[in-house]
Structure 1
Amino acid sequence: MQYIIGIFIAFFLAVLILTKKGSNRADVFLGVWLIVIGIHIFGYYSFVSGIIYTIPNLMWLNLPYAFVHGPMLYLYTEALTNPERFKSKRWLLHFVLPILISFSAFPVMFLPENVRIMIYKNNGRGYENYMLDWTILLGISGVIYVISTYILLFKHKKRILNQFSNQEKINLNWLRFLLYGMGITWVIIILGGSDKWIFSTSTVLLIFIGFFGIRQVGIFTDQNVEIESIDELIIEEPIVIETRIEKKKYAKSSLNEDTAKDIHRKLQHLMITERLFTEPELTLTDLATRLGIHPNYLSQVINDLEGVNFYDYINTLRIQEFKILVSLPENKKYTFLSLAYECGFNSKSAFNRFFKKATNLSPSEYLKNINKQYSE
């Protein structure tokens, strides 16, 4: 029964994702992957239920599809993080191994039906070497794709810090947890774990994938992939945030020091006069457009002259603005969260996390310290 439920969930979620409003290439990969998972679960169900003995050709549902999950996970992640990579058809090369595996099964597929059934019932007796090679290849393929996907997510995390001021919906943390689960599954396969356990837990992974996959929004679709005066915010002692800046990335930049300083002055003026940091969805591209410069130049100026990435720069200004607002007597009737929203944060978790990072205090601890100073 659990396998039938898994099959139903896989196809149901695939339909939801493939037909959701504003679907993109990543949604197509995810939807197709869910269909593949459903077919694969059906292939295993046909074995445990005995259907495969009446339709021996169903063996094909278990052989090639096991090798498709790694490529689909990787391609889905790449479609989210690097959509420009799909301008060519080289991504199709990821399916060469599954196709070769299918061809390798031809000798068995052309055996008499009664012989094939006997092979299945005896767990591949007579083809032990083939099954061993199949298992080794499957394990190696799985590990390679898990590692490759992790590298994509690592690069993505660094990339969005230089392009977005809020990252709650685009940090892909849920994919990291899925990756850990997939990694454990591949290790169990390599160690010769139970197929029953692997396919039983796949239902849980299906629900996880479907829930977050439906909610996942596009990331780089609109991006060029390449009170008290705010004056005091700019000149007061800055919040110190430890951030590694890779200046080597700009070694070939044509931006000279004088131009960089000029852009920096314009950036500060824009923040003072228009308080753009209060826009929750502000991006590097948005800000560069307002300044009339290329996003790469703006990123370099922020990295070199502010010493932080774009995400930290904008959120530092938001924290400084919050400090001003929370200290005003007329704002005592408002909650921390409402003031945080006013400053440009779009979630409680993002605000609390960055405030703690910037001040080593929680908002309530900071306010207590301020009140204590005033009372003294």
Structure 2
Amino acid sequence: MFYLAGIILTFFLAVLLITKRGKSEADLILAAWLTAIGVHLCSFYLTFSNQLLLFSFLLGFNFPLPLLHGPFLFLYTSALTNQKIPAKYKAAHFIPFLLLYGLFIPFILLPEEQKIQVFKNEGLDYEVEMLVMLSAIMISGVVYVGLALWRLNEHKKTIQHEFSSAEKINLAWLRYLIYGIGLIWLFVLFAEDAMIFNAVVVFVFFLGYFGIKQVGIFSQGYPPPGQLAADMALTESGTAAPDKPAAAKYQRSGLSDEAAARLHGLLSEVMQKEKLYTNAELTLTELAKALDVHPHYLSQVINTFEDKTFYDYVNTLRVEEFKRLVALPESKKFTLLALALDCGFNSKTSFNRNFKSVTGLAPSEYLKQGTTYLHT
């Protein structure tokens, strides 16, 4: 009953995604993937329950199905992290699946009685094809788990350079699901069929749950640097001066050393006066708009002059603001978390992690080293 419930759940989740309002590319890929998983689970269930021979015309059609899951995992991860792949390259990921079908065409075209005989004899006369299939499945598993993790790591780097808060967009759940599908591939090698089936059903549950509730992650769009006046040096007033040549350090970006230093000064002044870092959802693009400069150049300036990513730069300012606030006598009536939220942190976890990263101390340890703050 558990197995049938898993199959029904898989197709149900696929329908939910297909009928979801405002579907994203990731939703459509996940719906297609769940459909493929549902078909594969049906085939697996028929085999596991010894009913597959009742549908002997299906023998052979199910062999290449495992080669679908790696490409779907990679494409889904890419879509969730907004890393675009041209359509022709997306299709190329399914070539091994089609080639494996081609390999088994002679078997698929056999009369049903002969196919049943081959099945009962555990692939007699098709040993080479079976070895190729198993090798392809395992290679696909290793390669696509690696590619999906690589995509997530690229996403992590993007977060560090474009966002000041990562809790809602770090996709930690997807990393665990990738580990989960890697574990399932290991089960295929070493575990019993029942364990494989159970693991897949549990995997589907978590994939569907997180996939349906996941909000799309999109970077705010902006034109390439060469299309903006910001690719020229900034004048004293902060406007563009088209006749300034780019220094070697910023030759590729079009921003001179002098303009970069001026932009850094403007950034420091604005952050000190307006305290934009207290906005918990501040992004690189929003800050760049406030400074009337291209995000590409702002990121370069932060990386060069502060020797930090955008994420670390903003959260360092938040920590410094917290240290300033907590030393004020009037702050004693507030909790540490309330002060942290006022500084731009959006959770206790984020505050504790960033505070220790900047100061080397937990907030409680810092307070014991000299502040008169007493309220906890």
Q: TM-score with structure 2 length normalisation?
A: 0.86
* Structure 1 residue 268 corresponds to structure 2 residue 268: yes
| Structure 1: runs of 5+ lacking an equivalent | 227-247
* Structure 1 residue 161 corresponds to structure 2 residue 156: no
What amino acid sits opposite 1:79 in the alignment? A
Q: Distance in 2 between matches of 1:284 and 1:115?
A: 64
What amino acid sits opposite 1:351 in the alignment? F
What amino acid sits opposite 2:118 in the alignment? I
- Deviation per CA, 1:16-46: give whole Å up to 9, x if none: 3333443310111112111211111111001
Q: Distance in 1 between matches of 2:116 and 2:175?
A: 41
Q: Distance in 2 between matches of 1:225 and 1:340?
A: 35
1:225–1:359 distance in 2 versus 1, CA, 3 Å: farther
Q: Distance in 2 between matches of 1:188 and 1:156?
A: 29
5 Å-filtered alignment, 1:59-74, equals: 59-60=59-60, 62-74=62-74
What amino acid sits opposite 1:46 in the alignment? L
Query: How many matched pairs?
Result: 351
- Deviation per CA, 1:190-247: give whole Å up to 9, x if none: x454333222211121122122212322222534496xxxxxxxxxxxxxxxxxxxxx
Identity fraction in percent? 47
1:60 to partner: Cα distance: 4.8
- Deviation per CA, 1:36-86: give whole Å up to 9, x if none: 111111110011223321212333553222100000000011112244334
Report the equivalent of 2:115: 116
Residue 58 of structure 2: SS of its match in structure 1?
helix
Report the equivalent of 1:150: 149
**268-277 vs 17-26, greater mean Cα deviation:** 17-26
- Deviation per CA, 1:306-335: give whole Å up to 9, x if none: 110100001111111112222223222322
Report the equivalent of 2:212: 214
What amino acid sits opposite 1:220 in the alignment? F
Residue 167 of structure 2: SS of its match in structure 1?
coil
1:42–1:168 distance in 2 versus 1, CA, 3 Å: same
* Structure 1 residue 134 corresponds to structure 2 residue 133: yes
What amino acid sits opposite 1:306 in the alignment? E
Report the equivalent of 1:37: 37
- Deviation per CA, 1:269-296: give whole Å up to 9, x if none: 2112221111111111111111111111
Q: Distance in 2 between matches of 1:129 and 1:268?
A: 67
Report the equivalent of 1:205: 203
Q: Distance in 1 between matches of 2:119 and 2:251?
A: 61
Report the equivalent of 1:239: none
- Deviation per CA, 1:146-176: give whole Å up to 9, x if none: 1111211122111210011111111122222
Report the equivalent of 1:94: 93
**354-363 vs 329-338, greater mean Cα deviation:** 329-338
Q: Distance in 2 between matches of 1:20 and 1:351?
A: 35
1:122–1:161 distance in 2 versus 1, CA, 3 Å: same
What amino acid sits opposite 1:277 in the alignment? Y
Report the equivalent of 2:238: none
* Structure 1 residue 10 corresponds to structure 2 residue 3: no
**146-155 vs 308-317, greater mean Cα deviation:** 146-155
- Kept after mapping to 1: 8 A contact 2:326/2:373: no
RMSD: 2.3
* Structure 1 residue 359 corresponds to structure 2 residue 356: no
**37-46 vs 50-59, greater mean Cα deviation:** 50-59
Residue 167 of structure 1: SS of its match in structure 2?
coil
**205-214 vs 325-334, greater mean Cα deviation:** 325-334
What amino acid sits opposite 1:157 in the alignment? K
- Kept after mapping to 2: 8 A contact 1:178/1:205: yes
1:369 to partner: Cα distance: 2.2
User: Which structure carries more relative contact order (alpha carbon 8 Å, separation 6+)?
Assistant: 1
1:108 to partner: Cα distance: 1.5
1:185 to partner: Cα distance: 2.7
- Kept after mapping to 2: 8 A contact 1:43/1:59: no
1:356 to partner: Cα distance: 1.4
- Kept after mapping to 2: 8 A contact 1:169/1:216: no
Q: Distance in 1 between matches of 2:284 and 2:367?
A: 31
Q: TM-score with structure 1 length normalisation?
A: 0.86
- Kept after mapping to 1: 8 A contact 2:337/2:348: yes
What amino acid sits opposite 2:101 in the alignment? S
Q: Distance in 2 between matches of 1:249 and 1:10?
A: 54
